[in-house]
Structure 1
Amino acid sequence: MDQVQHIMALSTGPWTLGQLLLSLAFLTAGFILRQILNGYLHGRLQSLAARSETEADDQAVAALVNPLGLLLPIAGFYLALRVLLIIEPAWLVHFDLAFRIGVILVVGWTAFKLVDAAAVLLSELAGRTDSRLDDQVVPLMRKTFKVFLGMLAFILVAQNLGYSVSGLLAGLGIGGLAVAMAAKDTLANFFGSLMILIDQPFHRGDWVTFPGGDGVIEEIGLRSTRIRTFAKTVVSIPNQALANATVENHSLMPKRRIKFTLGVTYGSTVDQVRELVQKIETYLQSHPGIDQEFMLVKFTEFGPSSLDIFVYCFTASTAWTEHLAVKQEVNLTLMQMVQDMGMSIAFPTRTVHLVSESPEAAHEPDPS
């Protein structure tokens, strides 16, 4: 053991043999670890990524393995030189600084590649939806994250070089505030589009009612949403206003309602009204176009000029034309029922009774 220590302490120039061997060990270990990473870990991750159909995991593997494959030899080289530069502390400080900056750049490069992989995954998910809004948001988010990462890397490098970043951050804050104030409406519409994308109250092709009218969603953009009205005009609504408005989505109806009051004349008897209510209910229960989950047929009101029968049910189809066809068939059948039972459908009427005065009262003098 003493002999080994003696050999390691032998001087070869400014360094001992032990320092040279340790430096060589660090350098060799960096390249060996790189080969292990590329040969085993990379192969295992690639085989796992190959089992999925998405390309995002393949890019994520490349984003992790390639920078690590570069970082390991650099780390070995750094440790090796650090052992050798122990004789020159002034050089060691500069070398440590160069290594830190190199690590920041490699980590930033890795983050850039991971953002690309995440963007690929989000683009594949966005391609499965009908809306084009998410297709537009994904590239914008990728660029935004890359700009943020680039600024963060720049600030870290500047800080390691000894520059004061407090003034830079203050300037960026003031500049960002000025931009935000100038583009207030644009940013509000952008965040409104994000809320629509996240909440998804409607999709392209949905029939909606909004403050000011109704129509079919034609396009959801980053600034505004275009709606095709039933008059075939196009209404563009800023996403900020639409995100804060009350929007009724008719396309989400599982079934469509029929609601009306059938009024028959006061000349109808109690038995006729009771029989009519029963017939209407039986007819609706046997109609294939009427949803059978819930319905109401009740004699509810003594109206001013009619005996009112309340009819409430739903069509099984939500398609507008099919709904109207079923509603028309129900109306015509109920009219036929009323006619066959010898009853009449009431309409607003008013009876005026004229009271005639007797001749004697007409000739009596007025006391006044």
Structure 2
Amino acid sequence: MFTRKTLEFLISSEHLQNLGIAIGIFLLFLLFRGLFTKYVFRLIMRMINKTKINFLANIFKSFQKPMEWLFTIVGLYLAVRFYPYIDIAADGLFMRLIRVSFIVLFTWGMLNLSSSSSNLFHKINERTNLRIDEILIPLLSRTVQVVIVAISLTIILQAFGYNIEGLIAGLGLGGLAISLAARDALANILGGIVIISEKPFDLGDWILTPSVEGTVEDISFRSTRVRTFAHALVTVPNNTLANENITNWSKMGKRRINFTIRIIYGTPPEKIKRVIERIKTLLQEHKEVHPETIMVNWEQYREDGLEIMLYFFTNTTVWAEHLDVREEINFKILEILEEENVEIAIPSRRLMMEGEAGEIIQKEKQRGTE
């Protein structure tokens, strides 16, 4: 229940005037925030884009939202400061919250600037001799973000009067238990370091392991994410991946084709030679076939035909293009066989009915007794 003096104070003209001015200051800064978002920020970005200084553009984009909220916090601070009936100097909690809000906004902007989606690391890679690997950029980004958050939390705790040294000492006492609980996480981090240092694959590479096959999308502290050809996203722990055999299909310089053609018995030897020579010439003259290793040979006798072995490589390693080249060569080989009048052997089996089989067995027995 309000007392009479309190009610008289609340409805007094002086109080209402001061309260109105304080609210007006706050609303004015909200208006400044809207004007900054709609006009000032766009104008600054146009000027920066004309200078082609991408680093400044990245900074302003990263700090756009924090700067908008900065107007709100400054407006709230000035409104409360103007209001004569609140002593902000005596209210230490309010001032601590204002300081912490500034720290949070600055941390927010730095996290945006250091994110892997930002072009900061890519620009550093282009303009310096550091040559940061593409696979290292996401991990480096997360490392910087963890450091930023840790420093910010330390400053915030100090602002509220916590003894950081005592906190660190307390963490040290429980370090053994934490390390035992985080053994798997540490193993995954070390696995990630091994992957980055040895570089068995890069982002976007097509890899095959006993665990997964697909395209590498992301590498984090704990795991590597691989997009399978069925468009499923598989997350593999780095420790598991670092201890597996990894086949990197994207690192192929050429792609192998190896198959056989069986032609029927009774094909004249001169026709077999012509077919082999024409197929070999076809592969040697094909611009998409790697010229170094081309083998076309009559390899062996089979029960259903004479087997010709083809072994060569395509220049392209892209799966779809590789299949197109293979299909084109198959059509050409069919044309050669038709022109040489050589038939492909088709495996055949003779099916005998029960009575027919009995007659054959009886005839065999009679031959054996004669």
Structure 1 length normalisation: TM-score? 0.53
2:144 is equivalent to residue 139 of structure 1? yes
1:344 matched residue in structure 2: 343
Q: 1:284 to 1:184 in 2, by over 3 A?
A: same
Q: Is the 8 A contact 1:136 1:222 kept in 2?
A: no
Q: 1:294 to 1:174 in 2, by over 3 A?
A: farther
Q: Is the 8 A contact 1:305 1:350 kept in 2?
A: no
2:315 matched residue in structure 1: 316
Match of 1:245, SS state, is coil
Q: Is the 8 A contact 2:139 2:220 kept in 1?
A: no
Q: Is the 8 A contact 1:205 1:218 kept in 2?
A: yes
1:151 matched residue in structure 2: none
2:269 matched residue in structure 1: 270
Deviation at 1:185, TM superposition (A): 0.9
2:227 matched residue in structure 1: 228
Match of 1:236, SS state, is strand
Match of 1:260, SS state, is strand
Separation (CA, whole Å) in 1 of partners of 2:123 and 2:288: 42
Structure 1 segments unaligned to the other structure (5+ residues): 1-54, 56-119, 147-167
Task: Report the residue type matching 1:319 in the other structure.
Answer: V
Task: Report the residue type matching 2:134 in the other structure.
Answer: D
Percent of residue pairs bearing the same amino acid type? 33
Q: Is the 8 A contact 2:256 2:311 kept in 1?
A: yes
Query: Relative to structure 2, which stretch is displaced further, 172-181 or 319-328?
Result: 172-181
Q: Is the 8 A contact 1:133 1:197 kept in 2?
A: no
Separation (CA, whole Å) in 2 of partners of 1:274 and 1:223: 59
Q: 1:122 to 1:282 in 2, by over 3 A?
A: closer
Match of 1:190, SS state, is helix
The C-alpha deviation readout for 1:303-337, integer Å capped at 9, x for no partner, is: 12121111011111112221111100111111111
Match of 2:184, SS state, is helix
Match of 1:288, SS state, is coil
Superposition map of 1:26-105 within 5 A: none
1:89 matched residue in structure 2: none
Q: Is the 8 A contact 2:219 2:225 kept in 1?
A: yes
Q: 1:299 to 1:182 in 2, by over 3 A?
A: same
Deviation at 1:271, TM superposition (A): 1.5
Match of 1:263, SS state, is strand
2:291 is equivalent to residue 292 of structure 1? yes
Match of 2:282, SS state, is helix
Match of 1:179, SS state, is helix
Match of 2:261, SS state, is strand
Task: Report the residue type matching 1:346 in the other structure.
Answer: A
Separation (CA, whole Å) in 2 of partners of 1:195 and 1:215: 20
Q: Is the 8 A contact 2:139 2:219 kept in 1?
A: no
Structure 2 length normalisation: TM-score? 0.53
Q: 1:351 to 1:338 in 2, by over 3 A?
A: farther
2:176 matched residue in structure 1: 177
Deviation at 1:136, TM superposition (A): 3.2
The C-alpha deviation readout for 1:228-271, integer Å capped at 9, x for no partner, is: 11111111101110111111100000111111111111131222
Deviation at 1:123, TM superposition (A): 9.9
Separation (CA, whole Å) in 2 of partners of 1:326 and 1:193: 38
Q: Is the 8 A contact 2:212 2:226 kept in 1?
A: no
Q: 1:173 to 1:299 in 2, by over 3 A?
A: farther
Q: 1:121 to 1:314 in 2, by over 3 A?
A: closer
Separation (CA, whole Å) in 2 of partners of 1:361 and 1:223: 78
1:154 matched residue in structure 2: none
Q: 1:291 to 1:308 in 2, by over 3 A?
A: same
Q: 1:124 to 1:141 in 2, by over 3 A?
A: farther
Match of 1:135, SS state, is helix
Separation (CA, whole Å) in 1 of partners of 2:174 and 2:132: 38
The C-alpha deviation readout for 1:184-226, integer Å capped at 9, x for no partner, is: 1111111111111111111110001111441111111111111
Task: Report the residue type matching 1:136 in the other structure.
Answer: S
Structure 2 segments unaligned to the other structure (5+ residues): 1-54, 56-119, 152-167
Q: Is the 8 A contact 1:192 1:239 kept in 2?
A: yes
Q: 1:313 to 1:343 in 2, by over 3 A?
A: same
Deviation at 1:347, TM superposition (A): 2.4
Superposition map of 1:105-144 within 5 A: 124-125=124-125, 128-131=132-135, 132-136=137-141, 138-139=143-144
Separation (CA, whole Å) in 2 of partners of 1:188 and 1:204: 22
Separation (CA, whole Å) in 2 of partners of 1:200 and 1:140: 23
Task: Report the residue type matching 2:242 in the other structure.
Answer: A
Q: 1:300 to 1:361 in 2, by over 3 A?
A: closer
1:259 matched residue in structure 2: 258
Separation (CA, whole Å) in 2 of partners of 1:259 and 1:244: 31
Q: 1:296 to 1:280 in 2, by over 3 A?
A: same
The C-alpha deviation readout for 1:8-54, integer Å capped at 9, x for no partner, is: xxxxxxxxxxxxxxxxxxxxxxxxxxxxxxxxxxxxxxxxxxxxxxx
Task: Report the residue type matching 1:225 in the other structure.
Answer: T
Q: Is the 8 A contact 1:206 1:216 kept in 2?
A: yes
